[in-house]
Structures are given as structure tokens and as C-alpha cells.
């Protein structure tokens, strides 16, 4: 069973449309659609924007559907001059940039888990490789593997974007992947994050870029995820 989580309709509807034998149920106000893509069992959830929504959806998916893996997919913002609009970022690891107890002497973005403290949560290496293969299968050569930063804030302005790159070496930012990663890490579920860049480090207005390119960016991530099912 492959679990897919996206925050918005534009990030998951195209995947759900590819499914056969579909069944849907609503748990904690989140709709989970299960079925098959390319003959493989899957479940897709639109979690809503933000870390708490994403964490609730991920934990519920694990308890209810027992997926073998979870992929968080969708769009994100660039935090590097290496990632322009239309580029794809495959997460090597995720970091929650808004977790901050540095006033107590802790490292920035430290997560306090039951058995350890950690900053970067690693994504599954096999899933990273398969997503890379999926990119190549659809002719997508503008992809890069690296850190994705998560926080409950839309990051705008080149200064703020650059700060995430300098502090965490982040290539992209978004609002769900790090919390999904934390839930999967605690449950020992392999996970991955795929983000197509919709807004970048440029002189253009970030909100305008997002509004202009979010749909096409989401379509690119959907195309790659659908290719993933054929690997």
C-alpha cells in the first residue's frame, strides 16, 4: 500500500483521477481515497495546509491503512538560486525551520522526540531513487536532491529564502513535509517528499509567482507521482 499526502486539491486531484476501484471515507474531516494506480494499492489524502493538518493526516493514514510507505507531494518555494520555477526538488531530508529553542541553548530546528533529539529527518533512500527514476521516465531533467524546509509560514522575500538556505542548506520550503516526516520517522514508515517549485528567488512578487505557476507546478508533481507507480 502506497500512501500519498498533499495539502491542496491541485496537488492530489490529478492523482485521484488516475485511480481505479476507488472508495472514499472521511476521518477527522480529511477525505481518504483508496484504490489502485497501475495495479498497485494506494490511498490518497488531501490534508489541508500546515504542519498540524499534515501530521494528523499522516498518523491517521498509518493507523487506518497501514501503508508500506508515504510520499508527500505538491508544490513549494525555492530557497536557493539552484532551484528555479519549474524545477523539482526530491528531499534527501526534511527540517522544521520554525522549531526554535535556541534561547535554551539548543541547535536551531531541534525536534525533541521520545527517544532522541534530531534536526534533520532522513528520507528513505530507495524512495528517493525511485522518484529520481520517475523524473527521468517523464523526461524531467530539472530535478535536484537536497534538504526541504518546513514551517507554518509562507516564506516570501529573497532575504528570508536565503536565510533558510544558509542556516539549513535548504533547496525548497513548504508547510507539510517535515511534520509528515516526523510522524513517519516515529512510526518507522519509509517516506519521501517531492516538491515542484512554484515561486522562486527573483525580483518578481512572490504571491504573483505563486498564483501564476502553482497549477503548472502541481501538474508536474502529479505527473511524476503517477510515473512512480509504474516503476
Q: Give the residue numbers marked as catalytic.
A: 11, 199
DSSP state of 163: H
Task: Return d(Cα 28, Cα 191) in angstroms, integer.
Answer: 22
Closest CA to 225 of 137, 149, 158: 137
Q: What share of the chain is helix, strand, coil (3-state, %, to 5)?
A: 35, 30, 30
For strands 121-122 and 88-96, give the pairing. antiparallel
Q: Exposed, middle or buried by CB within 10 Å (0-12, 13-18, 19+), for 93?
A: buried
User: How far from the centroid of its chain's Cα atoms is residue 145's Cα?
Assistant: 13
The DSSP bridge partners found for residue 72 are: 5, 193
Find out whether 186 and 217 touch, Cβ atoms under 8 Å.
Answer: no
Amino acid at each position: 500500500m502506497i500512501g500519498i499526502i498533499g495539502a491542496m486539491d491541485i496537488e492530489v486531484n490529478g492523482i485521484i483521477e488516475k485511480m481505479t476501484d476507488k472508495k472514499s471515507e472521511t476521518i477527522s474531516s480529511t477525505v481518504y481515497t483508496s484504490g489502485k494506480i497501475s495495479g498497485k494499492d494506494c490511498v490518497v489524502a488531501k490534508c489541508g495546509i500546515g504542519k498540524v493538518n499534515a501530521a494528523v493526516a499522516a498518523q491517521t493514514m498509518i493507523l487506518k491503512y497501514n501503508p508500506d510507505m508515504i510520499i508527500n507531494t505538491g508544490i513549494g518555494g525555492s530557497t536557493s538560486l539552484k532551484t528555479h520555477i519549474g524545477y523539482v526538488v526530491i528531499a534527501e531530508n526534511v527540517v522544521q525551520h520554525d522549531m526554535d529553542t535556541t534561547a535554551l541553548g539548543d541547535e536551531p530546528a531541534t525536534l525533541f522526540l521520545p527517544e532522541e533529539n534530531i534536526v534533520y529527518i532522513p528520507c528513505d533512500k530507495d524512495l528517493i531513487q525511485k522518484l529520481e527514476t520517475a523524473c527521468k521516465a517523464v523526461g524531467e531533467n530539472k530535478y535536484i536532491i537536497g534538504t526541504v524546509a518546513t514551517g507554518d509560514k509562507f516564506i516570501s522575500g529573497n532575504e528570508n529564502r536565503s536565510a533558510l538556505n544558509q542556516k539549513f542548506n535548504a533547496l525548497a520550503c513548504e508547510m507539510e513535509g517535515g511534520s509528515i516526516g516526523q510522524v513517519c520517522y516515529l512510526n518507522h514508515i519509509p517516506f519521501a517528499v517531492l516538491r515542484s517549485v512554484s515561486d522562486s528567488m527573483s525580483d518578481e512578487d512572490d504571491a504573483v509567482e505563486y498564483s501564476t505557476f502553482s497549477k503548472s507546478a502541481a501538474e508536474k508533481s502529479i505527473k511524476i507521482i503517477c510515473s512512480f507507480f509504474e516503476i
